[in-house]
Amino acid sequence: MSIPAFGLGTFRLQGQVVIDSVSAGLELGYRAIDTAQIYENEAEVGQAIAASGIAREHLFITSKIWVANFARDRLIDSLKDSLHKLQTDYLDLTLIHWPSPEDQVPLEEFMGALLEAKELGLTRQIGVSNFTVDLMKQAIAAVGAENIATNQIELHPYLQNRKVVEFAQSQGIRITSYMTLAYGEVLKDPVIRQIADRLQATPAQVTLAWAVQMGYAVIPSSTKRANLASNLKACAMKLNDADMALIAGMDRGQRLTSPKGIAPNWD
Annotated binding site for substrate: 97
> For residue 227, with 0-12 CB atoms within 10 Å meaning exposed, 13-18 middle and 19 or more buried, which class applies?
middle
What is the biggest distance separating any 2 CA atoms in the chain, rounded to whole angstroms? Answer: 55
Whether 39 is a known active-site residue: answer: yes
Give the residue ranges of the annotated binding site. 97
The three-state (H, E, C) secondary structure of the chain, written as one string? CCCCCECEECCCCCHHHHHHHHHHHHHHCCCEEECCHHHCCHHHHHHHHHHHCCCHHHCEEEEEECHHHCCHHHHHHHHHHHHHHHCCCCEEEEEECCCCHHHCCCHHHHHHHHHHHHHCCCEEEEEEECCCHHHHHHHHHHHCHHHCCEEEEECECCECCHHHHHHHHHCCCEEEEECCCHHHHHHHCHHHHHHHHHHCCCHHHHHHHHHHHCCCEECCCCCCHHHHHHHHHHHHCCCCHHHHHHHHCCCCCCCCCCCCCCCCCCC
| Catalytic residue of the set 39, 158, 178, 216 | 39
Active site amino acids: 39
